């Protein structure tokens, strides 16, 4: 089964009447699609878009520790390291990030901002988040094109870099069986084992 390619920008805040900052973590970030209609009626669901024209992504096959959820968090130092790792892989300079808010989790400023990239999706979760393989930079494929996610493409994703990091962190990655149209099941299984060996299970 192919994935839909959607081009856009990774964003951490937007400015309207006032600035509204996001609270990114290791497996989720805001994304502003160039063509928002591409995120409508994907497997019978549509993405939730905020007033800044952005949607919150859910990274496919990645589950990092919570840094903020209903006022709670898991191992915060590990969670923040995973957040910074993901932001760095997306192209943000984490040394220049400024945060604000009660828990100091809301992005106040970032550089560079926004960052160009694209996602590959074939579903949207019940909360309106595109379940995504995430890529930085540009691609010669056209916006909205159906593409097959082979291993060569997969290895370039931010998701794959998180899997590689899984042996040294508390990132959890589930096992996927190989399915029609993608060979991604092979590296997912190989990369997922070390994280589960540490005793952490995934909610995905």
Can you give the pLDDT of all 204 residues of the chain as single tens digits? 899 999 999 999 999 899 999 999 989 999 999 999 999 999 999 999 999 999 999 999 888 766 554 454 445 777 888 899 999 999 999 999 999 987 889 999 999 999 999 999 999 999 999 999 999 999 999 999 999 999 999 999 999 998 887 655 544 544 443 333 444 444 444 444 433 333 333 333
- For 109, what's the count of Cα atoms within 13 Å in the CB-facing half-sphere? 4
Domains of the chain in sequence order: 3-142 (2.40.50)
Distance CA 31, CA 131 (A): 12
pTM over 0.75: yes
């Amino acid at each position: 089964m192919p994935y839909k390619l959607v081009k856009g920008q990774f964003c951490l805040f937007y400015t309207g009447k006032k600035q509204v900052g996001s609270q990114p973590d290791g497996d989720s970030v805001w994304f502003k699609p160039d063509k928002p209609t591409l995120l409508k009626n994907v497997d019978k669901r549509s993405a939730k878009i905020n007033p800044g024209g952005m949607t919150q992504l859910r990274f496919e096959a990645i589950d990092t520790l919570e840094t903020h959820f209903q006022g709670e968090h898991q191992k915060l130092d590990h969670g923040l390291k995973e957040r910074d790792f993901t932001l760095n892989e997306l192209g943000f300079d984490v040394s220049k990030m400024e945060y604000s808010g009660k828990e100091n989790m809301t992005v106040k400023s970032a550089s560079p901002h926004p960052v160009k990239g694209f996602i590959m999706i074939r579903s949207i979760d019940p909360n309106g988040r595109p379940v995504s393989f995430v890529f930085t930079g540009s691609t010669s494929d056209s916006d909205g094109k159906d593409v097959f996610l082979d291993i060569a493409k997969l290895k370039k994703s931010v998701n794959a870099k998180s899997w590689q990091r899984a042996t040294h962190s508390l990132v959890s990655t589930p096992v996927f069986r190989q399915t029609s149209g993608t060979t991604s099941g092979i590296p997912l299984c190989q990369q997922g084992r070390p994280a589960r060996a540490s005793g952490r299970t995934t909610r995905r």
